[in-house]
Structure 1
Amino acid sequence: MSRALTRTGALLMLVCLAFTSLTVTTRREAAALEPFTGYLMAHFTGESANGEQIYLAHSRDGLNWSDLNSGGPVLLSTVGTRGVRDPALVRSPAGDRYWIVATDLRIASGTSWNDAANRGSTSLVVWESTDLVNWSAPRLVNVAAGIPGAGNAWAPEAIYNPATGDYVVYWATNSARNGVTKHRIWYARTSDFRSFTAPQLYIERPGSQGIIDTQLVEVPNSVGGYRYYRASADGHITIEASNSVLGSWTTLGNLSHLGISNGTGGGNVVEGPMWAQFNGRNEWALWLDQYATGRGYLPVTSTNLGATGNFQHRSGYSMGGNRKRHGSILNLTAAEESRVLGRWGASTPVNRLQSYNYQDRYVRHANLDVRIDPNVSPAQDAQFRLVPGLANSSGYLSFESVNYPGYYLRHYGYDFVLAANDGSATFAADATFRRVAGLADSGWSSFQSYNFPDRYLRHYGYLLRLDPITDAQGRSDATFRVTS
């Protein structure tokens, strides 16, 4: 073959590769830019026993919210302090990956605010998903470890930065710097929410004034004159603007004209600013948590973020049954909205599994082991939601724990445990069952394994196992009543 032909072939190959790459990139970007149809809010509810966990709410219009998952938590932290606050929802530019990043803090455990701020966790809690409904187990990332004297890592947020092709994760840390101990905003960069660069100072206010609860929003077409806007709690709710995430920022003002502050200006004292653009129009809501009065979130809105005087109070909103504390809002495509509502929108009944041959005993988890016991306490240890099967949603089901959402009954070495869904195909198969007529009584139910169809869920010595059933004793042990 001649050199000319070789060069021509190589050129054609490069053109094909470039076209393929462009097509894939365009397709991914197009998928991420589908019209938005709804809104998803991640939040916590307060310092109750389960309040410092991940809750979700949904809205069609961006003003009126409904609690998802029957008002219960969607994800529980089992790492660090075993509590989370201030969750941030993050979507990749391609719309094919999502993260929740949250503060590792549980005041309900008896931790004082002084200890939490000065001797608290310097880690953030991260969950990861490819579809917004199936989430990884939580993991800790110690983002503030490199800050001398760091006392905490609070109120994290993250935004994709096209200038660097990765994500800027930013949060507040209380530490001494130049002889002054206060909260400042720090940032680190990451491409995978696993490995992070060393922390860098992002925002510092003059003198002794601290700053916390910063949240950025990117504005299409630079409405108001800037591409990015950020709101922070620093005594006021201060609004700043910039044309780059890590560039210089211009202070636009605050919300004192609305009688709103973060304490310094008095009036309605709020925190936790939370941005959301209304779908299909150039109008933005800035939600503010009225923590000082316990009245929950209120929205102020603007059609031009370039001047703080454009913000006005907004009426005609409702927040649902749960109290919403500091969180974030994600605009949803139709496909995302369908998945979220399909998973958590319906009110899934809470059930128990009653043993056929020991009718005073119910299936329950205890220290993540699974057995049958009488008089289960707390009662939620014996309560499950029968949800569509993780491995096959057609004719199969999985058992999701009520008090450990995201944890499922699964077999492991033919023994049963309660475990967090790790997103793997093996986990999904191990946690999926077909409900069939009871082997000992057709009026009851038995549960056939998805990946070992010759085996059934049964108790043996009061412990749950996955066994082949060959005799009358086994049939009785493998029969249960699904009851409320």
Structure 2
Amino acid sequence: MNNSLNPSRRGVLGAMAAVTGSLVTGAPTARAATGPAYVMGYFTESPDWLGADYGLHLAVSTDSLRWTPLNQNNPVVTPTAGTGGLRDPFIMRKQNGTFVVIATDLKGTDWSLQSQYIHVWDSADLRSFTGYRRLKLHDMATHSWAPEAFWDAGRGQYGIIYSAVNSSGHNVIMVNYTADFVTATAAQVFFDPGYDVIDGDLAVGVNGVNYLYFKRDQTLVGARSASLNPGSFTVFSTPVSHGGTEAPTLVRSQTSGDWFLWGDTYTPNGVFYAWRSGNLAAGTWTPVDQRLYTQPLNSKHCTVEEITGTEYDNLVTRYGTPAWNRLKSYNYPDRYVRHSNYVGRIDAYPFDPYTDSLWKLAPGLADGSGVSFQSVSHPTRYLRHVNYQLQLAVDDGTSAFAQDATFIRTAGLADTAWSSFRSWNYPDRYLRHGNFVLRIDPISTATERSDATFSVGH
């Protein structure tokens, strides 16, 4: 969720860029060059809960579409009070250039828990977190879900919006106002269209209009207002969804000016989908090709904020980038390379054990200029071909194994921005999938080239 588009906040970012140096572009794991950068916050869940963690996770991007998890996808800070866990984190740059992080006080999925509080941290640079506290928002017998914040210049205060059930009997978007995220005014209704709404996300001051996106009936819907006054927003957009979708997050590309609307499927399956619009006022969205974006592993209910290039570099230096990679299929971009029962294949994300899709691209066992795919979950095992099919096998130290487990990385056969992998000892054959199972084959047709093309990311 993002409200970094408030013109006054963009002014803060611009001033900081002038002081701290250039912005970020280029490969997510490389040293940043001039250009934009973004940070994402999230918590994690996976289908069998093996990847569930209710602390604050961070990832970075130079295009707001392809994300690199930090700290090995482990949390950078975890609540110590309340339920001891968070959901729905939100990162905002305050007027003084520092950050505040707020989040739902809930560990797990016991929706019957009714916390009147939210978690709060202060941070100068997202490399350390201070002043941890919980902020009470109301006295009602209801929750305080998915809090977000925005700067209301007319009031000279920050607004905190969140979902709660009030006297209407359904979820509405509430608001409290604060100067310091330590104390807040009494709660009042910010948006109540007469039906259940949760997960409010604001873009403030876009050509003089404010936009509020929210979840209604498993879809993402937008409302707008010329002011930020409670009760002033009216619904205008065409709903979008991909199955049951929640957690809308509005992000504007700092380079193209296009808008992206992120949402994720609820339940622990947590798949992010993205839509694009060249004009937020139109209220219509076009799905983004899944080849163009990659969510952080097991991520749920994200928040996105603009950062400077120096901040990007400092975050990468502080937390590090993953020691592992994931390989996405070109023609089935919802699927990733994994092993299952020691057979190499591509399966639809997400799945458990999720570690079966994590690989170390080690120097080739037979040729150091090539690569060998070492399993993270079974580190004594590598992908090798046997009768042209890929298996996960223990390195027996033989030259035959080393050759079978070595591949030469080339430009993607279907897209040169992606990668393909040629067998070292059968150089007329490439790693590909057939009926979702990995093998090595000669490649000649367009379908085969697509089958043999992968993106190497995180």
Normalising by the smaller structure, the TM-score range is 0.5 to 0.7
Q: CA deviation at 1:138?
A: 2.4
Q: CA deviation at 1:202?
A: 0.7
Aligned counterparts of 2:50 and 2:190: Cα–Cα separation in 1: 33
Q: Which residue of 1 aligns with 2:90?
A: 88
Q: Which residue of 1 aligns with 2:220?
A: 237
Contact preservation (8 Å) 1:44, 1:85: yes
Q: Which residue of 1 aligns with 2:196?
A: 210
Distance 1:313 1:185, change over 3 A: same
- 1:53 aligned counterpart, secondary structure: strand
Q: CA deviation at 1:195?
A: 1.2
Identical residues among aligned pairs (%): 25
Matched, 1:44 2:43: yes
Contact preservation (8 Å) 1:276, 1:331: no
Contact preservation (8 Å) 1:233, 1:271: yes
Unpaired runs of 5+ residues, structure 2, are 1-8, 24-34, 325-458
Distance 1:42 1:123, change over 3 A: same
Matched, 1:67 2:69: yes
- 1:288 aligned counterpart, secondary structure: strand
Distance 1:241 1:302, change over 3 A: same
Deviations 1:257-282 (A, max 9, x none): xxx2xxxxxx6210000111111332
Contact preservation (8 Å) 2:203, 2:250: yes
**Structure-to-structure mapping, 1:412-431, within 5 angstroms:** none
**Structure-to-structure mapping, 1:330-479, within 5 angstroms:** 330-346=305-321
Contact preservation (8 Å) 1:32, 1:94: no
TM-score, normalised with respect to structure 2: 0.60
Contact preservation (8 Å) 1:126, 1:193: yes
**Structure-to-structure mapping, 1:148-297, within 5 angstroms:** 149-175=140-166, 177=167, 180-206=168-194, 209-220=195-206, 222=207, 226-235=208-217, 236-246=219-229, 248-256=232-240, 260=241, 268-291=243-266, 294-297=269-272
- 2:307 aligned counterpart, secondary structure: strand
**Structure-to-structure mapping, 1:114-153, within 5 angstroms:** 115-116=112-113, 120-145=114-139, 149-153=140-144
Contact preservation (8 Å) 1:288, 1:299: yes
Matched, 1:100 2:134: no
Distance 1:219 1:303, change over 3 A: farther
Q: Which residue of 1 aligns with 2:287?
A: 313
Aligned length: 295
- 1:54 aligned counterpart, secondary structure: strand
Aligned counterparts of 1:336 and 1:52: Cα–Cα separation in 2: 24
Contact preservation (8 Å) 1:144, 1:173: no
Given residue 159 of structure 1, which amino acid in structure 2 is its aligned partner?
A: F
Aligned counterparts of 1:214 and 1:27: Cα–Cα separation in 2: 24
Q: Which residue of 1 aligns with 2:331?
A: none
Deviations 1:93-147 (A, max 9, x none): 342x111100000126xxx32x22xxx21100001011221111521111122xx
Aligned counterparts of 2:14 and 2:306: Cα–Cα separation in 1: 15
Q: CA deviation at 1:184?
A: 1.2
Contact preservation (8 Å) 1:53, 1:77: yes
- 1:62 aligned counterpart, secondary structure: coil
Aligned counterparts of 2:85 and 2:270: Cα–Cα separation in 1: 23
Given residue 87 of structure 1, which amino acid in structure 2 is its aligned partner?
A: P
Higher-helix-fraction structure: 1
TM-score, normalised with respect to structure 1: 0.57
- 2:54 aligned counterpart, secondary structure: coil
Distance 1:54 1:28, change over 3 A: closer
Deviations 1:3-52 (A, max 9, x none): xxxxxxxxxxxxxxxxxxxxxx9996752465662111000112658511
Aligned counterparts of 2:287 and 2:311: Cα–Cα separation in 1: 30
Aligned counterparts of 2:258 and 2:17: Cα–Cα separation in 1: 18
Contact preservation (8 Å) 1:45, 1:325: yes
Q: Which residue of 2 aligns with 1:301?
A: 276
Q: CA RMSD in A?
A: 2.6
Aligned counterparts of 1:348 and 1:322: Cα–Cα separation in 2: 13
Aligned counterparts of 1:41 and 1:68: Cα–Cα separation in 2: 10
Larger RCO of the pair (alpha carbons < 8 Å, separation 6+) = 2
Q: Which residue of 2 aligns with 1:397?
A: none
Q: CA deviation at 1:292?
A: 5.5
Distance 1:30 1:319, change over 3 A: closer
Q: CA deviation at 1:245?
A: 2.0
Q: Please say which structure displays the higher CA radius of gyration.
A: 1
Contact preservation (8 Å) 1:214, 1:231: yes
Given residue 228 of structure 2, which amino acid in structure 1 is its aligned partner?
A: V
Contact preservation (8 Å) 1:101, 1:126: yes
